[in-house]
Chain A
Amino acid sequence: GNSVTQMEGPVTLSEEAFLTINCTYTATGYPSLFWYVQYPGEGLQLLLKATKADDKGSNKGFEATYRKETTSFHLEKGSVQVSDSAVYFCALLSGGSNYKLTFGKGTLLTVNP
């Protein structure tokens, strides 16, 4: 079956630090990959996505590259801000059930000033 494994948190960084949150997946076929973000008190929002191998998704300074050879979709940002503090979820959409998102367990990021 499909599964997503992401780096366990919590992750605590100082402002302007470099961020990496690792995500690897297991899936049948050729999944689409996503990062969702949940800010405090808010709902899940799509942060970025990539639908095929070697695609790079980017948004708000965050990037993730779809690596089929390593089945990975690591999230990176060169300089985090306090406002990036949130829970980040890696997810995939795959196979015959191409509507069920499979999520990782989430990584809590706290950025201190």
Chain B
Amino acid sequence: GAGVSQSPSNKVTEKGKDVELRCDPISGHTALYWYRQSLGQGLEFLIYFQGNSAPDKSGLPSDRFSAERTGGSVSTLTIQRTQQEDSAVYLCASSPDRDRTEAFFGQGTRLTVV
């Protein structure tokens, strides 16, 4: 596709359940990022993947959060035992290795934990 694709666009889940959020980056982009956009908190960095290097997970807020990137392309962000404070919009972005100054964002997944 032409842009970064995220699915689902909306997810409502019960507290305590696990959720998986998917990101398809732009073809050929080696760098992939996850951010979280919370009301009143702005945008927070979660995790970064670059090629085959070990990911930078320093932004993950707890060990309930994990992410993987298979085959250097699609990424999945998993939140286990969801809590109400996990409610937010989760944004994925990708950028070409040659120019990390431009990140292309998907439309995000709005997660609501009830």
Q: B-contacting residues of A (Cβ < 8 Å)?
A: 32, 34, 36, 42-46, 49, 51, 89, 91, 93, 97-106
At the interface, yes or no: B25 with Cβ under 8 Å from chain A?
no
CB-defined interface of B1-40 with A at 8 Å, one 1/0 digit per residue? 0011000000000000000000000000001010100001
Cα–Cα distance between A86 and B56 once the two chains are bound (Å):
31
| Extra inter-chain contacts (10) besides given A97-B56, A103-B42, CB under 8 Å | A42-B107, A43-B105, A49-B102, A89-B42, A100-B48, A100-B56, A100-B59, A101-B43, A101-B45, A105-B40
Cα–Cα distance between A104 and B42 once the two chains are bound (Å):
7
Contact partner of B105 (CB less than 8 A), chosen from A45, A49, A51, A102, is: A45
Cα–Cα distance between A102 and B101 once the two chains are bound (Å):
12
Q: A99-B31, A105-B42 are known contacts. Are A43 and B102 too (CB-CB below 8 A)? A: no
Cα–Cα distance between A99 and B32 once the two chains are bound (Å):
10
CB distance from B29 to the nearest CB of A (A): 12
Q: A-contacting residues of B (Cβ < 8 Å)?
A: 3-4, 31, 33, 35, 40-43, 45, 48, 50, 56, 59, 91, 93, 95, 100-108
Contact assessment for B101 and A93 in the assembled complex, using a CB-CB cutoff below 8 Å:
yes
- How many A-B residue pairs have C-beta atoms within 8 angstroms? Tell me: 54
Tell me which residues across on chain A come within 8 A of B105, comparing CB atoms: 36, 43-45
Cα–Cα distance between A44 and B74 once the two chains are bound (Å):
20
Contact assessment for B100 and A46 in the assembled complex, using a CB-CB cutoff below 8 Å:
no
Contact assessment for A43 and B107 in the assembled complex, using a CB-CB cutoff below 8 Å:
yes
Chain A residue at smallest Cβ distance from B45: A100
Tell me which residues across on chain A come within 8 A of B93, comparing CB atoms: 44
Chain B residue at smallest Cβ distance from A32: B101
Cα–Cα distance between A21 and B99 once the two chains are bound (Å):
27
Tell me which residues across on chain A come within 8 A of B40, comparing CB atoms: 105
Cα–Cα distance between A49 and B100 once the two chains are bound (Å):
12
